[in-house]
Structure 1
Amino acid sequence: MRSVTINLSFEKDHKEMKPIFDPIQYKITVKTNWNTVASEYHYNWADKKIGPFKSTMEIIKLSSIKPDNKILDVACGTGVVSKEISQVLGPKGLLVGIDLSRTALDIARGSISYQNSIFIEMDAENMGFNFKFDKVTCQYGLMFFPDSRKVLESIRKILKHDGVLVVAVHGLAEDVPYFSTIMKPVLEHIPDIRPYGTPTVHRFGNPKDLESELSGAGFEDVIITRHDFVYEPGTFEEYWTDYMNSTANSIKTKMESYGQEIMDKIKQDAKKNASQYERNGNLMFPWTVLIASGINH
């Protein structure tokens, strides 16, 4: 999933480490990480429309896309939302997808046959368009932008009057245990694994925070709906392996640098946390998603 963490700046001794949040390095790491995990993310998660990716169709419904609309999909990733959008648009429509990951964009291009579509490697905080869109979508990207307010304000500038923005974010830690089951013990045993101020997956998991962010950027008639899904990652061992190779990919090396004893403690605590979600040997995680829509009046 889109849970990514930046590289850290360390002193020579772990005891003296002083991680500093650097937005530029963060973006470089996000880009590198997504170029690595995009294929697994797409084919094992997003394209199957399982768990949180059942929200894709909810985004499409809320967007009320018309065949001649010009649509921008921000942080489009491997194109799961873009693909659904393309199936609604007609010959007069336009689909533009932007993302930092070139690998993800290549997957998006290969999965979408809509003629009037273009995918651009672009930083959402530095968008450059000389025309306006009817609708903008963003699935699981808003919480990871260092300056999310800047992104939202930029989106308003390229939205037509009465244009609509629809975004999806993950819920709070207690409502998305897929992330917190492992990350909680990681943070307990390695509290400096990420610098203070690093964007987190649960950043807008509180509906009030999400509403405030959109309203603060100038969007009106903001509506937020909660959607509860279920994700089954298999056994704990399968879940652990998947998490380490995807969600925790960018911090795995740093975690392992603390030694096997720490890794074993993290895994042991995570297994204990996961036990409450176990059914007949397999895990069943509840997964809350918030979807917000706002209008550019």
Structure 2
Amino acid sequence: MKQEENRSIFEPISYKISTKANWNTVAFEYHYNWADQKIGPFKSTEEVVKTANIQDDDKVLDIACGTGVVSKEISQLLGPNGLLIGIDLSRTALNIAKKTIASNQFNAIEMDVENLGLKFKFDKVTCQYGLMFFPDCRKVIGTVRELLDDKGMLVVAVHGLADDVPYFSTIMKPILEYIPDIRPKGSPTVHRFGNPDDLEKELAGAGFSDIKITRHDYSYEPGTFEEYWNDYMNSTANSIRSKIESRGKDVIDMIKNSAEKNALKYTRDNNITFPWTVFIASCSNKT
């Protein structure tokens, strides 16, 4: 209880600095072991692009584009009159995107999505697995709407709730149990829009219409528990790993033992198969 009372308050600027540093560290592994392989939740990439209904002359903005997996798919659908801009905080991620996307239409810009310095109208805006992490989400969505053409479309993908995406919660629940002050109070979480009603409310609140949200159920096989644990700690939990390790071996062992028990329900023949729910929302800028 005392740890909860001593939790620091979420501070957006520090959060962004930390996020940028973390993504510069994990971008390579994230891309080549996850996103580019189109495994688990990244099977949604093609669905996001399909939902966006890209035309060859579209002007497209891909926000929080990361290493460019969505941008890559979009670039292959654009003709010489099309334009694609991908923005992200992580320079390392953007460098990977520039190396892997062979298209004259693609432009990568290192930029804070909450402070978009763009003076241009787009036909489509896409965002895969970024929306839930923006501190001022309503500001981002409002700015995106201003950047969209009168009949423009926004398409976003988000992860489901904790019980529907146990890859995250199997380890994170024990972390929060033993180290409840691991993150500042009010920090954005991966499950922020895991309830589609919350996602719809956020989009409608920014003035979007024709909101459609579809559920997609995938699966991900991280291997044995030990392989899953190592992958999680070196990628997903990288930004908080030093805080976990600072609590000492006994706390780490308790977290790990609890996580292994949580993983048993998804384990067969010593290998884990996690279900993974994704929601894809599309909405219109029609007035």
TM-score higher than 0.5: yes
Deviation of 1:17 after TM superposition, in Å, equals: 4.2
Q: How many residues align?
A: 285
Report the counterpart of residue 126 of structure 2 in structure 1: 137
Report the counterpart of residue 201 of structure 1 in structure 2: 190
Report the counterpart of residue 256 of structure 1 in structure 2: 245
Task: Give matches, 1:53-92, under 5 Å.
Answer: 53-92=42-81
Which amino acid is the alignment partner of residue 112 of structure 1?
I
Task: Give matches, 1:160-171, under 5 Å.
Answer: 160-171=149-160
- Kindly tell me: are residues 123 and 15 of structure 1, through their superposed partners in 2, closer, same or farther at Cα, counting changes over 3 Å? closer
Report the counterpart of residue 281 of structure 2 in structure 1: 292
- The CA deviation string for residues 109-165 of structure 1, in whole angstroms up to 9 with x for no partner, is 000011121000000000011110000000000000000000000000000001000
Which amino acid is the alignment partner of residue 148 of structure 1?
C
Report the counterpart of residue 277 of structure 1 in structure 2: 266
Paired residue for 2:213, among 216, 224, 233? Answer: 224
Deviation of 1:15 after TM superposition, in Å, equals: 9.4
Question: Once structures 1 and 2 are overlaid, which stretch shifts more, 97-106 or 124-133?
Answer: 124-133
% identical equivalent positions: 68
Q: Distance in 1 between matches of 2:3 and 2:219?
A: 38
The gaps in structure 1 that reach 5 residues or longer are: 1-12
Paired residue for 2:227, among 222, 231, 238? Answer: 238
Which amino acid is the alignment partner of residue 241 of structure 2?
K
Report the counterpart of residue 10 of structure 1 in structure 2: none
Report the counterpart of residue 254 of structure 2 in structure 1: 265
Which amino acid is the alignment partner of residue 128 of structure 2?
Q
Report the counterpart of residue 16 of structure 2 in structure 1: 27
Deviation of 1:19 after TM superposition, in Å, equals: 1.6
- Kindly tell me: are residues 61 and 252 of structure 1, through their superposed partners in 2, closer, same or farther at Cα, counting changes over 3 Å? same
Task: Give matches, 1:120-135, under 5 Å.
Answer: 120-135=109-124
SS at match of 2:273: strand
Deviation of 1:195 after TM superposition, in Å, equals: 1.4
Which amino acid is the alignment partner of residue 232 of structure 2?
Y
Q: Distance in 1 between matches of 2:284 and 2:170?
A: 36
- The CA deviation string for residues 219-240 of structure 1, in whole angstroms up to 9 with x for no partner, is 1010000000000000000000
Report the counterpart of residue 93 of structure 2 in structure 1: 104
- The CA deviation string for residues 54-73 of structure 1, in whole angstroms up to 9 with x for no partner, is 00010011100000000000
TM-score of the superposed pair, with normalisation by structure 1: 0.94
Q: Distance in 1 between matches of 2:159 and 2:223?
A: 21
Cα RMSD (Å): 1.2
Contact 2:4/2:180 (8 A) holds in 1 = no
- The CA deviation string for residues 156-181 of structure 1, in whole angstroms up to 9 with x for no partner, is 00000010000000000000000000
- The CA deviation string for residues 225-262 of structure 1, in whole angstroms up to 9 with x for no partner, is 00000000000000000000000001000011111111
Q: Distance in 1 between matches of 2:105 and 2:276?
A: 34
Deviation of 1:18 after TM superposition, in Å, equals: 3.5
Q: Distance in 2 between matches of 1:15 and 1:291?
A: 34
TM-score of the superposed pair, with normalisation by structure 2: 0.98
Q: Distance in 2 between matches of 1:288 and 1:175?
A: 6
Q: Distance in 2 between matches of 1:247 and 1:215?
A: 30
Paired residue for 1:47, among 36, 41, 44? Answer: 36
Contact 2:3/2:181 (8 A) holds in 1 = no
Q: Distance in 2 between matches of 1:288 and 1:236?
A: 21
- Kindly tell me: are residues 224 and 14 of structure 1, through their superposed partners in 2, closer, same or farther at Cα, counting changes over 3 Å? closer
Contact 2:55/2:78 (8 A) holds in 1 = yes
Which amino acid is the alignment partner of residue 223 of structure 2?
G
